[in-house]
Chains A and B, each alone.
Chain A
Amino acid sequence: VANRDDIDLMLYLDGEELDADTRREIEAELEASSDDRAKIESLEQVGETLRTYLELQADESDAALAGMWGNIERQISSNGVHEHVPAAAAPVRRKAQDARDSDAGVWAAIGRWFDNYRGYFMTSAVTAGAVAAVILIFRQPEEKVVQRTVYQPAPAEVVPAALPSAPEVEELEVFGGSGAVLTIPGEDGEADTAVIWITPDDLEDPI
């Protein structure tokens, strides 16, 4: 109940709407209770402290506030088409701008031109970066070609082995062609091998 009363005290202090009965109750309580009066006065002190504190903070920013009008004037004169200059940075930038304006020559002109289009450059750079990032992220993974040296054993060289003795060759007469019988002696006690070689006449070179 006491806390609910605190809310009513606050409403009473702030001049907010309270029904007549509640207002009478609060006034009666204020008459009787020093605690309630202390609460009301404490709330008022909070307000006073805050107002004084903010006033002193404004004093500290007086110089920046005084310089603000020049910046506002420039911006409203350019009818809203302007680079946003943060209020806190305005005096510093203005000084730099004035110094640049007083420069003469090609470089100064280029510098001023760049200043006018600085926003476009920045936007272009950021856009290009973003596009590059998107491409890098979404590109298909490439097929990787791995070059690898495979060492294979060199092909075995086939060296014809010399027969222990020359094969015997006998001519053979056959119908419709010519033939020969080759007898190849066996090795290491194996039997001899006879090869009958027949060449039909029609396979011979035509004349």
Chain B
Amino acid sequence: VAATGREQRPFAEYLLYLAKVNKRAPQASISKNGSRDATDDRELVDRARAGDQDAFRQLFQRYHRRAYSLAYGVVHNADDALDIVQEAFIKAHRYLDKFEGTSSFYTWLYRIVMNLAIDHIRKHKRARHVDFNDAIAHLEQDAPVGEAALLPKILGQNPAKSLARKQIRGQIGEALESLSENHRAVLVMRELEGLSYEEMAQVMNCSKGTIMSRLFHARKNMQKKLLQFMGGAKDLKA
């Protein structure tokens, strides 16, 4: 605790913290609105199907920001992310009749957003400039995970507060940009939408093991960069 002045966390409290994290992460966004919102969504979808444009506008108002964050996290370009969100809502409206309602509207929408974002990545991959470091990142993205470990260090400052500084934000952007598209996609799906490995494997059409490997490398690389930009301290003495 020495370096950052953090208080030593009792183990029982730590387990409670982990339990909270475990509960929260997989359901971070998809169902955080609760069942009432899901019911509302269902009603809005039914009205939109019947031609009520205002109902669809309400769905747009409700989810466009989350859809944008998801798209931006994957493609890392504001204009492309805006295009993807717009296209996703137009597609969602066009295929509203095919929405069966077995999942929430947002779950259905984010799949459309992700598919468009992944398509975008595939289309632009050939044209993308790949520098040496990025090429290395691509090579290792599906490599066995036992090659390098996580650093037992936490950030020396509050990430949320640090991000208020434009310079730090730019650096985080660079760190995210330095990841391969597949790394970014998996990281964003996990951290923003709380998807399980199985769900991510379905979205990205690959094995669960590949998802695990990509996520591990993505987190490890981000951790390394964040520690470099924001300073780190070995912490949490037992």
Listed in ascending order, the chain A residues whose CB lies under 8 Å from chain B are 2-4, 6-7, 9-16, 27, 30-58, 60-61, 64-65, 68-69, 71-73, 75-77, 80, 86-88, 90
Contact = CB atoms under 8 A, between A and B. Distances in A.
17 contacts: A3-B145, A4-B146, A10-B216, A13-B22, A14-B25, A30-B11, A30-B18, A37-B236, A41-B235, A45-B154, A45-B226, A47-B190, A49-B222, A50-B188, A51-B191, A76-B53, A87-B85
Contacts, number: 196
Interface stretch (B35-43, B87-95, B100-108, B135-143): B87-95
Most buried by B among A12, A30, A56, A72: A72
B15 A36 contact: no
A87 B56 contact: no
Contacts of A42: 150-155, 223
B47 interface: no
Interface string B1-38: 00000000101001100100111011010000000000
Report the contact-size class of chain B (Cβ under 8 Å from the partner).
35 or more
Given A48-B160, A52-B163, A65-B85, A15 B154 contact: no
B192 interface: yes
Given A45-B154, A45-B226, A53-B173, A87 B86 contact: yes
A58 B69 contact: yes
A65 B68 contact: yes
Contact of B64 (A13, A60, A68, A90): A68
